[in-house]
Amino acid sequence: MDDAGQRLKRARERLNLRYRDVEDASLRIAERRKNDEFIVALSRLSDIENKGTVPSIFRMYSLCAIYRLDLSEVLQWYGVDTTQLPADSAQVEIERTHLIGFQVQDQGEVQLPLRLDPGIDLEKTTFLSRMIQRWGRLPLMLLNGLDLKAHRYAYVGSEDWSMYPLIQPASLVLIDESKRRIVMTGWSNEFERPIYFFEHRDGFACGWCHLEENRLVLQPHPASMCSPRIYKYPEEIDVIGQVVGVAMRYDPARRRRTAAAGS
């Protein structure tokens, strides 16, 4: 972060721009955006480059636009790594179920197993930690073969027990927005029955449903001890998509602890 101002200075000097040039350019940006916060005055630019002053988000935007810099990269110069947003958000439990607004990015890296034991048999239940021979970090752009942008993500609230034990509270779910048509038949057990993600007048919900004309019944798992909810469809509730993946921790004692705390 101490070097961020000097990096901006070097970017300016590479373009042979004077302080006055930067101020004039920022004035044009501010006029176009109809917001004086985008103006980078001479004295403020000097403080940013030489005194370690952190620019406002508006001035940082202007400097990136003038110097042709990537905003995410400049934020990293100041110690703000936007690729860490999902990981940092995972540290915060929220009671209500909600969609996740983070966009899939090509920047950043992910840690993946690079080499598995060649004797691994994926048809059998396997303790993968013992089968991974080498871990490594790969750029996220190498994962573009996975069609992540066709899906959305959501967080099941830490107090949302409606689909317990199939989906634990505080789970992450993967939603396929192309599967919005409610299917009423075609499954033989609860594991095959489609689970949908909904937006309704009070927020979001995840669960089974039953549709009768213009009445949609949200049906929780019987073991959850939650009550069904009825909405007018589509006036009061909308189907965002079908849940096609779940990432969750298995903690069967959590429900007992929650019940004991509430009694």
Q: Do residues 139 and 152 both lie within one domain?
A: no
Does 9 fall in a domain?
Answer: yes
Residue 11 has pLDDT above 90, yes or no: yes
The Cα–Cα gap between 51 and 56 comes to: 15
Give the end of a domain, one of 89, 121, 143.
Answer: 143
Does 162 fall in a domain?
Answer: yes
Burial class for 161, CB neighbours closer than 10 Å (0-12, 13-18, 19+): buried
Tens digits of per-residue pLDDT, 222-263?
Answer: 999 999 999 999 999 999 999 998 888 776 666 655 555 555
With contact defined as beta carbons under 8 Å apart, do 176 and 241 qualify?
Answer: yes
134 sits in which H/E element = strand 132-139
Q: What is the mean pLDDT of residues 166-186?
A: 90
Q: Do residues 125 and 163 both lie within one domain?
A: no
Does 126 fall in a domain?
Answer: yes
10: tokens are 């070097």
The Cα–Cα gap between 204 and 229 comes to: 12
Of 59, 34, 38, the C-alpha closest to 49 is 59
Does 101 fall in a domain?
Answer: no
Does 237 fall in a domain?
Answer: yes
Q: Do residues 158 and 248 both lie within one domain?
A: yes
Question: Where is pLDDT greater, at 63 or 114?
Answer: 63
CATH of the domain at 247: 2.10.109.10
With contact defined as beta carbons under 8 Å apart, do 169 and 157 qualify?
Answer: yes
Is the pTM of the predicted complex or chain greater than 0.85?
A: no
Q: Provide the residue range defining the domain that includes 21.
A: 4-77
14 sits in which H/E element = helix 4-14
